[in-house]
Amino acid sequence: MNYYNTNLETVEMFTDATDAEENKSKTLSTVRNADGSISLVSYGWQEIARVDNGANTVTVFVGHYKNSSRTTKSHINLVGTLAYENPMRSLRVSGATPVVGKVPPIAKFIGHYVNFRSKFSRVEQDAKNEVDTFLGR
């Protein structure tokens, strides 16, 4: 049986500066940067938070709220809450919208899923399949 991290566990590991972790759906991952800092990345490209190397500061990039999925917004809320509650870290909020690498073609689907409760239309299913392929799931 494989174990998969929940969103909460992934964010907790991020605030503890653990890299190379991801949640079960692969929409949230931790990445070590060249400068030693750790980034929390949503959908493989939106850097939504960073733990500075040695500074014990978690920076949350709320600028992504403007153009992000419900999932990314919930990730931002979760990391902000956990970083605020962590006595070993200070919280910094930034309006920046950093990305990891190039913005992928799947970004065009942000905000275009209309209904999560019923069956997807053919166009929505094609979009979901493209996102799943990009994320490797």
Tens digit of each residue's pLDDT (9 = 90 or more) over 61-112 = 998 877 777 778 888 999 999 888 888 888 999 999 999 878 878 777 776 6
C-alpha span between 45 and 107 (Å, rounded): 9
Domain containing 87: what range? Answer: 7-102
Q: For the sheet with 28-32, list strands across it.
A: 28-32, 38-42, 46-51, 57-61, 90-94
Q: Facing residues of 90 across strands?
A: 57
Directed axis angle between helix 7-15 and helix 70-85, to 10°? 50
Residue 57 lies in a domain: yes
Residue 125 lies in a domain: no
- Label residue 59 by pLDDT band (50, 70, 90): very high
* Phi then psi dihedrals of residue 92, to 5 deg: -125, 135
Number of domains present in the structure of the chain: 1
C-alpha span between 124 and 107 (Å, rounded): 14
C-alpha span between 38 and 53 (Å, rounded): 7
Residue 91 tokens read as 């919280």
